[in-house]
Structure 1
Amino acid sequence: MSLKDIIGQEKAVRMLLGILIRQKVASSYLFCGETGIGKKTAAVDFAKALNCLNPQPAGPRITSDSPVDACEECESCSKIKAGVHPDFLLISPEERLIRIEEVRIIDDALSYKPFEGRKKTVIVDDAETMNISAANAFLKTLEEPPQDSVIILVSSRPDLLPETIRSRCSRINFFPLSKASCREVLAEKEKDAEKFSLAARLSMGRPGIALSSDLHEERKWVLNLLRGMLHAEKDGWSSRDEMQRWFDHALVLLRDMTVLKLTDDPRQLVNNDLEGYLTGLSKSVDVKVIIYIHQELSRIRRLLQFNLNKSITWNYTASMLRKGLVF
């Protein structure tokens, strides 16, 4: 895939192609937006374009025939795609954390001039997971960027990055995809019509989430845990990742309950195949209570970054749901 092939991010792609056409490449970028909307893919494609040996025209998104986009066929593009290009480095968190050791790897990689390509390119995925030591060390790298290098931070929570880091990066914003674009991305994976429709709805403009997991099975798991909470069963989460996924789905279910109470229009539901279940769950509950629960779950979801105790969080959440959702 090259930049011109990215679906649903026209504005961001035009900006990146424009940068390449003008040859005004900054030393550092911050790619921001929700999880699963193509930020990392765009970062890798940008790295390909920077070092492509046989660049191609930018396509219809840019009124220019300048050959600046990746060809996807040359040795450089193939190596970056495989993650083995000597001038390309992708850093991802280990155990949800980027430590100072990873920053030292970045510094070491950037200390050498490009070996094969035009630009040394480093991508830091989930950059907001840098701990304090790593962030402080990384700031020094951004303050004195090596020549012929490009650093791209990819983040779904840029507000968690220090302002000193954010201010030194050129920001490129990415947004959730339209329904049509989301369906276009998912059509290549899901051939079952029913599952395809459900995945398109549940992803809510973030097709990467649907491509990386079975949202149909995941929702079943979420509903089972919800029943467990309402029946005072023990903690059913096994990790913080599971906690985050459960809260994400639960918030959408509460959103649908609110929509039902206010509009009684199942066409507006994300989980429209659960209309009967959601109607029963919210039948005798005031809409203000549902909105309060949604606000409280949103607050807990934000606090998960602080490693909340699983059992305490389960018990608190379950207790609140049992008090609010009256059958």
Structure 2
Amino acid sequence: MSFNDIMGQEAAKQLLQGALRKQTVSHAYVFSGPSGSGQMKTAITFAQALFCETYNEDACGECLECRKVEHGNHPDLHLLAPDGASIKIDQIRDLQRVFSYRSEMKNPKVYIIDQADKMTVQAANSLLKFLEEPPIPAVAILITENGMALLPTIQSRTQLVPFYPLQAEMMLQKLVEEGYPAPLARCAVHLSSGLEGCRDLLDQNWFAEIRNVMLQLGKESLGKGSSSLVTAGQKLFKAGLSEHLDTLLDLFHLWFKDMIHVQYGRHESILFIDQLEFLSTQAPSRSTAQWVSYMDLAAECRKKLRYNVNGQLCLEQFLIGLEG
């Protein structure tokens, strides 16, 4: 694996490769950013580059040390993740025990803590002592969606490496190259912050089904004498798709947004491009303010779902609101 294989995150890659090249690698880093933006892949690549016998600022992927990392059996690389809902003090103590033994190689040992913000207070305090006084040369990489959620004392003793959501266009191109249908991929990249999340969504059979249901409901609800309530009952609740109402409403939000894009001639921004003919016909039938009100209606319905309002009742109110 190479830094060149990591999509986006140019600032993070430059910072880490610069440290490797100048031999100024910090003893601890916090990789902070949205899930799916490449923190773990970057952390593994960084560790691999530290161990690499061939290059000094990247991983060759071919030497013995690189192959050990790729096979998941490098003795100097240790990964830690939550045990259940949290990372517990015993896990940190076990890590400290492992790091009491020196590496047989010249390189420092590396440990990666995923979801580091889920450490208990006791675990975080135990890690703090380890960060300040490691028994052997070591590099720590703490991965979190929010670096500010870590103890201030940990933040002050680590170097922040910010990660950002990948651009939708970049993810779309990659997903289509991998063979995912473009219409589905276009939706997925607007509902997930990273490639892994997009793939997980696209690999679910229900995702294509829920998109089709949304399109049918979206078209029916805009006509007179709408049959959208009947369709919702049959295609969602009887078909076992009711647990995905949040995704359905997110898609509705994007659907109405596309209507506004059509009104303003922003065809390059249209998400449901395979529905362009229908969108072009219907977009002028409502004012921009009306389409915005429909987006607000979808957001309000989604909020009700979070507060455990009955899903069927909530969706029916939403669809009636569209007809009104």
TM-score interval, normalised by the smaller of the two chains: 0.7 to 0.9
Counterpart in the other structure of 1:209: 197
Indicate conservation of the 8 Å contact 1:86/1:115, yes or no: no
Using the TM superposition, give the Cα deviation of residue 42 of structure 1 relative to its aligned residue in structure 2, in angstroms. Answer: 0.7
Rounded to whole Å, the distance in 2 between the matches of 1:247 and 1:216 is: 15
TM-score (norm 2): 0.72
| 1:257 and 2:266 are equivalent in the alignment | no
CA gap of 1:296–1:71, structure 2 versus 1, over 3 A, is: same
Using the TM superposition, give the Cα deviation of residue 13 of structure 1 relative to its aligned residue in structure 2, in angstroms. Answer: 1.1
| 1:199 and 2:185 are equivalent in the alignment | yes
State the AA in 1 paired with 2:9.
Q
Aligned match of 2:157 in 142, 151, 168?
168
CA gap of 1:314–1:76, structure 2 versus 1, over 3 A, is: farther
Counterpart in the other structure of 2:225: none
**Per-residue CA distance 1:21-51 (angstroms, 9 max, x = gap):** 1111111111122222221111100000111
Return 98-107 or 178-187, whichever deviates more: 178-187
Rounded to whole Å, the distance in 1 between the matches of 2:309 and 2:280 is: 26
Using the TM superposition, give the Cα deviation of residue 261 of structure 1 relative to its aligned residue in structure 2, in angstroms. Answer: 3.7
Rounded to whole Å, the distance in 1 between the matches of 2:107 and 2:77 is: 11
| 1:144 and 2:143 are equivalent in the alignment | no
**Per-residue CA distance 1:228-285 (angstroms, 9 max, x = gap):** 9964949x689xxx87xx646743541341342464355423343356599989x779
CA gap of 1:251–1:180, structure 2 versus 1, over 3 A, is: closer
Indicate conservation of the 8 Å contact 1:139/1:164, yes or no: yes
Indicate conservation of the 8 Å contact 2:30/2:143, yes or no: yes
Rounded to whole Å, the distance in 2 between the matches of 1:212 and 1:106 is: 31
Aligned match of 2:293 in 267, 276, 289?
289
Counterpart in the other structure of 1:83: 72
State the AA in 2 paired with 1:260.
M
CA gap of 1:188–1:101, structure 2 versus 1, over 3 A, is: farther
Rounded to whole Å, the distance in 2 between the matches of 1:76 and 1:6 is: 20
Counterpart in the other structure of 2:220: none
Indicate conservation of the 8 Å contact 2:37/2:165, yes or no: yes
Rounded to whole Å, the distance in 2 between the matches of 1:298 and 1:136 is: 38
Report the secondary structure of 2:160's partner residue: strand
TM-score (norm 1): 0.72
CA RMSD in angstroms comes to 4.1
Rounded to whole Å, the distance in 2 between the matches of 1:210 and 1:160 is: 26
Using the TM superposition, give the Cα deviation of residue 15 of structure 1 relative to its aligned residue in structure 2, in angstroms. Answer: 1.1
Aligned residues: 301
CA gap of 1:258–1:54, structure 2 versus 1, over 3 A, is: same
Return 43-52 or 163-172, whichever deviates more: 163-172
Within-5 A mapping of 1:178-189: 178=167, 181-183=170-172, 185-186=174-175, 189=178
| 1:11 and 2:11 are equivalent in the alignment | yes
Extract unaligned runs of 5+ from structure 1. Answer: 56-66, 302-307
CA gap of 1:267–1:252, structure 2 versus 1, over 3 A, is: farther
Rounded to whole Å, the distance in 1 between the matches of 2:118 and 2:158 is: 17
**Per-residue CA distance 1:131-185 (angstroms, 9 max, x = gap):** 4443343333334344411111122333443433333321112223345643554
Counterpart in the other structure of 1:64: none
**Per-residue CA distance 1:194-220 (angstroms, 9 max, x = gap):** x14642552247323234452573523
Indicate conservation of the 8 Å contact 2:176/2:185, yes or no: no
Counterpart in the other structure of 1:58: none
Indicate conservation of the 8 Å contact 1:39/1:174, yes or no: yes
| 1:273 and 2:261 are equivalent in the alignment | no
Extract unaligned runs of 5+ from structure 2. Answer: 218-228
CA gap of 1:48–1:74, structure 2 versus 1, over 3 A, is: same
CA gap of 1:279–1:293, structure 2 versus 1, over 3 A, is: farther
Within-5 A mapping of 1:86-97: 86-95=75-84, 97=86
Rounded to whole Å, the distance in 2 between the matches of 1:178 and 1:87 is: 34
Rounded to whole Å, the distance in 2 between the matches of 1:316 and 1:106 is: 50
Indicate conservation of the 8 Å contact 1:91/1:125, yes or no: yes
State the AA in 1 paired with 2:98.
A
- Who wins on radius of gyration, i.e. which is larger? 2
Rounded to whole Å, the distance in 2 between the matches of 1:16 and 1:89 is: 19
Aligned match of 1:127 in 89, 108, 116?
116
Rounded to whole Å, the distance in 2 between the matches of 1:316 and 1:159 is: 39
Counterpart in the other structure of 1:32: 32
Identity, % of aligned positions: 27
Return 221-230 or 9-18, whichever deviates more: 221-230
State the AA in 2 paired with 1:19.
A
Using the TM superposition, give the Cα deviation of residue 86 of structure 1 relative to its aligned residue in structure 2, in angstroms. Answer: 0.9
